[in-house]
Amino acid sequence: MPDRVIVGSDHAGFELKEKVKKTLERLGVRVEDVGTHSTESVDYPDFAHRVAEAVEKGRSERGILVCGTGIGVSIAANRHPGVRAAVAYDAETARLSREHNDANVLCLGGRTIEPALADRIVEIWLRTPFAGGRHARRVAKIETGSEQVEARSA
């Protein structure tokens, strides 16, 4: 489990982000919050890029983002090399995003997930290791595009 996680949200995810921070603190994880700090309307890509850049540059091993659905922040975060942002909406998607995809940014929907479920998702996501093996080959292809090279050389 990482000892530090960077978190961010837009206005629609603010309240759930605040609850997620409490979950992280309960688990003994240090939290860096890059905003937003209220429910005043803001643009979700601004906060998604802050979290993703910290993960991309190695300043944080993992990040958590919250917007209305988790989808917008995941799209923005995945624009960064080395970032594998996954929307999780239940325990199984949280587990598989780590086990199979080595997700390093968890995206949640502040309008779609109840706080108790978010608490469970966060804990599972933090505690689940990457399985490696055949999944490592697949995850490597995300960055390198080597599946395109293999297809052209076949």
CA distance 70 to 111: 9
DSSP labels for 29-84?
-EEEE-S--SSS---HHHHHHHHHHHHHTTS-SEEEEEESSSHHHHHHHTTSTT--
Say what angle helices 91-99 and 115-127 make with each other, to 10 degrees: 20
Catalytic residue among 11, 37, 49, 67: 67
Q: Is 107 in the active site?
A: no
Q: Is 100 in the active site?
A: yes
Do 140 and 81 touch, CB atoms closer than 8 A? no
Instruction: Collect all residues with Cβ–Cβ distance below 8 Å to 28 and sequence separation of at least 6.
Output: 3
Instruction: Collect all residues with Cβ–Cβ distance below 8 Å to 103 and sequence separation of at least 6.
Output: 84, 85, 86, 97, 125
Catalytic residue among 11, 37, 49, 100: 100
State the catalytic residues: 67, 100
